[in-house]
């Protein structure tokens, strides 16, 4: 009997087992226990039994969770929680707890801070029913997209705050610290539009040093431009910032999004996938890390200096050279940086790091870039799990390396989600030896999808049923914008790869990029694993709905057969997801099931009903028969 919980700054995840399939169990009521407040709240229900109405206020005590793992997206950031899992029986509309349990998880905090590193994840998933409800005001004059655009650009708007989470704080905290303590910041940025974030930087005036690259796109009236955010570029110039315009040649992008805080020397650095736009904050999945590490900050500062020197001239209308010398310097391995709090180590790579740019006729024998050589080696050595999120990595990319690793070691737990349909299609083709299978229905471009690597998609008008309505899936090109690989997150050899790098050859050959390979930092790896599987799990059901609509789950089961997907006939776990979570021991060990002095003597009738389990509490436990235990309930922790 086990319950384990994990969290990052955005969500908590809990998984559990009572040893096998539970006879007559219709699911679980899940309670969030607020450790500091001393209160517990039953989590909201997201589905109903057939014939029951999804009325407001229903909880998992009314409509139990028919899974053995769950994510709590309603937990408040900054909170400290445990989770109580109660197995339920009875009939729809008349449920009651089974006579054993509950399970109590370990304690988790929804907090971004893990010593020297702070990891931030936004909510950013548009394809949710909650967002659809907000954006569907019934007005034929406004589309869901135009309504979204109105919300997310306004500082303080409730939808903006909900979707961005703490990412606004992440992007502004270093510039605010510089303003308050006489420091300076050195930024290398790509997309640049969000008025709130820009305002925090602008107040530094000349103490904000900004290498600002351009992004081609569409200007007003459908005309093309090589600088989509020209008005914002002019704005930061006029604010008095030290701006170095870095305009990239065709086929190359200045894709960095990092910021170094300098106070008598480099002190901290922000890096990750998050551009400085309202879309990046609210309409894409993204991540950012703030490293309170002078060594990491110094390395990023050195790269900033190289970017400046490579810009000719280093001022208005500056052109990026991506010179041979610049490339060679980026290709030199940086000695592994040990984090100052001894929580882990980091390998850094900067791009472009190949001798020359990528040619259009690159061929099959193209040289593997040095940064991806390290990443591919890490993926190839995975022992338990590979999780990833990517936008549009191109080819070759981590997609190919993950498929190779899975073919070599089929027991690996692999889960990934991407924006680009051709990326999930490439994985499908490689896993299935290039043979086209009939399961390709619902994918774009005729490319198949393997359930382990799926593309982002929302519920369409054709998929909608019952109380489920059409969702807005994207605002612009990116949906999943993270660039993340997590390998063996529950081991001491865990690795997290993140940064601006799109995880494919083009990024290393042609773009200004940064990539951090974080090794041995269990807390960061757990936080990133929770984020990756949160995003994957969100789109997984929408994937099944689009590919197997007749078989896709719609309502709660009215008997205990829903458990057959999780356990075999001999009560062995057969769900890969459940096995993944339960194979972990989080930073704080799961509390023992409260049993005090419960007897382990045989109770044939009860044990037959519970699959051989001895109940810990409840009317049949020894604890319930002892007045002392009833008067002074207590929990016994693991020693």
Mean pLDDT, to the nearest integer, of 186-200? 98
Q: Rg of the chain's alpha carbons, rounded to an integer?
A: 26
| Per-residue tokens: 576 | 């890969």
CA distance 214 to 190: 6
Mean predicted confidence (pLDDT) in 70-91: 93
Q: Which residues make beta-bridge pairs with 17?
A: 2
More confident residue, 548 or 283: 283
Global pTM exceeds 0.95: no
Q: Tell me whether residue 418 is exposed, middle or buried, using C-beta atoms within 10 angstroms of its C-beta: 0 to 12, 13 to 18, 19 or more.
A: buried
d(CA 404, CA 383): 13
- Choosing among 2.60.120.260, 2.40.10.480, 3.40.640.10, 2.60.40.10, the CATH entry for 2-111+564-631 is 2.60.40.10
CB-neighbour burial class of residue 634 (10 A; exposed 0-12, middle 13-18, buried 19+): exposed
- In our burial notation (b when 16+ CB lie closer than 10 A, e otherwise), range 357-389 reads ebeeeeeeeeeebbbbebbbebbeebebbbbbb
Region of residue 442 (phi > 0: left; psi between -120 and 50: alpha; otherwise: beta): left
Residue 104's pLDDT is 93
Per-residue buried b or exposed e for 433-465, using 16+ beta carbons within 10 Å of the residue's own CB: eeeeeeebebbeeebbbbebbbbbbbbeeebee
Q: Are 503 and 453 in contact (CB under 8 A)?
A: no
The three-state (H, E, C) secondary structure of 505-557, written as one string: HHHHHHCEEEEEEEECCHHHHHHHHHHHHHHHHHHHHHHHHHHCCCCCCCCCC
> Which residues, 6 or more positions from 20, have their beta carbon under 8 angstroms from its beta carbon?
567, 571, 572, 611, 612, 613
Q: CATH 2.60.40.10: which residues of the chain?
A: 2-111+564-631
Contact 473, 479 (CB under 8 A): yes
Q: Per residue in 117-147, pLDDT tens?
A: 999 999 887 656 677 777 776 555 568 888 8
- Give ranges for CATH 3.30.870.10 in the chain: 113-547
The CATH number of domain 113-547 is 3.30.870.10 = yes
- pLDDT score at 591: 33
Please give, one letter per residue, the 3-state secondary structure of 164-198: HCCHHHHHHHHHHHHHHHCCEEEEEECCECCHHHH
Tell me, what's the pLDDT at 574?
87
Pairing of strands 385-390, 413-418: parallel
The single residue listed with the structure tokens 């089974």 is: 98
Kindly report, residue by residue over 447-495, the tens digit of the pLDDT: 578 989 999 887 666 665 555 567 777 677 789 999 999 999 999 999 9
pLDDT given for residue 435 in this prediction: 45
Q: Which of 22-36, 290-304, 409-423, 599-613 has the lowest mean pLDDT?
A: 599-613
- Comparing 57 with 348, the larger pLDDT belongs to 348
The pLDDT of residue 550: 61
């Amino acid at each position: 009997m086990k319950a384990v919980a994990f969290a990052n700054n955005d969500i908590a995840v809990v998984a559990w087992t009572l040893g096998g399939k539970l006879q007559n169990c219709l699911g679980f009521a899940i309670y969030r226990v607020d450790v500091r407040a001393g209160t517990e709240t039953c989590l909201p229900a997201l589905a109903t039994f057939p014939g029951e109405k999804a009325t407001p206020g229903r909880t998992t005590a009314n409509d139990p969770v028919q899974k053995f793992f769950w994510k709590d997206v309603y937990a408040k950031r900054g909170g400290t929680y445990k989770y109580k899992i109660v197995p339920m029986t009875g009939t729809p509309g008349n449920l009651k707890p089974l006579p054993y349990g509950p399970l109590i998880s370990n304690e988790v905090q929804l907090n971004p801070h893990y010593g020297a590193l702070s990891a931030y994840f936004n909510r950013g998933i548009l394809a949710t029913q909650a967002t659809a409800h907000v954006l569907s005001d019934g007005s034929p004059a406004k589309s869901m997209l135009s309504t979204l655009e109105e919300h997310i650009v306004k500082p303080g708007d409730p939808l903006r705050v909900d979707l961005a989470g703490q990412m606004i704080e992440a992007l502004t905290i270093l510039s605010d610290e510089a303003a308050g303590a006489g420091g300076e910041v050195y930024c290398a940025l790509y997309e640049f539009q969000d008025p709130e974030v820009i305002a925090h930087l602008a107040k530094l005036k000349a103490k904000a040093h900004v290498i600002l690259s351009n992004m081609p796109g569409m200007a007003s009236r459908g005309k093309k431009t090589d600088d989509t955010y020209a008005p914002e570029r002019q704005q930061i110039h006029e604010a008095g910032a030290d701006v170095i315009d870095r305009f990239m040649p065709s086929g190359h992008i200045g894709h960095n999004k990092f910021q170094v805080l300098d106070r008598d020397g480099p002190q901290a650095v922000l890096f990750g996938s998050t551009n400085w736009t309202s879309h990046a904050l609210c309409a894409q999945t993204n991540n950012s890390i703030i490293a309170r590490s002078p060594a990491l900050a110094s390395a990023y500062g050195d790269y900033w200096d190289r970017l400046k020197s490579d810009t000719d001239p280093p001022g208005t209308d500056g052109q990026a050279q991506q010179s041979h010398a610049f490339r060679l310097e980026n290709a030199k391995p940086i000695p592994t940086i040990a984090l100052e709090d001894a929580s882990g180590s980091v390998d850094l790579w900067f791009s472009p790091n190949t001798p020359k740019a990528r040619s259009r006729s690159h061929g099959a024998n193209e040289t593997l870039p040095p940064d991806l050589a390290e990443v591919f080696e890490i993926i190839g050595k995975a022992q338990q799990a590979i999780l990833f999120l990517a936008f549009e990595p191109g080819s070759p990319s981590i997609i190919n390396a993950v498929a190779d690793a899975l073919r070599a070691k089929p027991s690996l737990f692999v889960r990934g989600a991407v924006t680009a349909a051709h990326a999930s299609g490439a994985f499908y083709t490689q896993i299935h030896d290039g043979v086209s299978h009939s399961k390709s229905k619902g994918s774009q471009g005729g490319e198949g999808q393997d359930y382990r690597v799926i593309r982002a998609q929302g519920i369409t008008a054709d998929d909608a049923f019952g109380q489920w309505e059409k969702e807005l899936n994207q605002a612009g090109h990116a949906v999943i914008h993270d660039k993340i690989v997590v390998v063996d997150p529950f081991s001491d050899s865990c690795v997290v790869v993140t940064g601006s790098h799109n995880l494919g050859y083009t990024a290393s050959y042609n773009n200004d990029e940064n990539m951090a390979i974080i090794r041995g930092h269990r807390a960061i790896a757990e936080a990133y694993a929770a984020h990756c599987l949160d995003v994957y799990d969100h789109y997984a059901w929408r994937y099944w709905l689009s590919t197997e609509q007749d078989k896709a789950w719609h309502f709660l089961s009215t008997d205990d057969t829903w458990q057959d997907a999780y356990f075999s006939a001999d009560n062995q776990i057969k769900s890969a997801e459940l096995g993944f979570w339960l194979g972990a021991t989080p930073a704080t060990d799961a509390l023992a099931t409260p049993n005090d002095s419960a007897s382990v003597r045989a109770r044939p009738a009860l044990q037959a009903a519970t699959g051989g389990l001895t109940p810990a509490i409840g009317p049949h436990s020894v604890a319930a028969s002892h007045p002392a235990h009833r008067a002074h309930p207590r929990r016994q922790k693991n020693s």
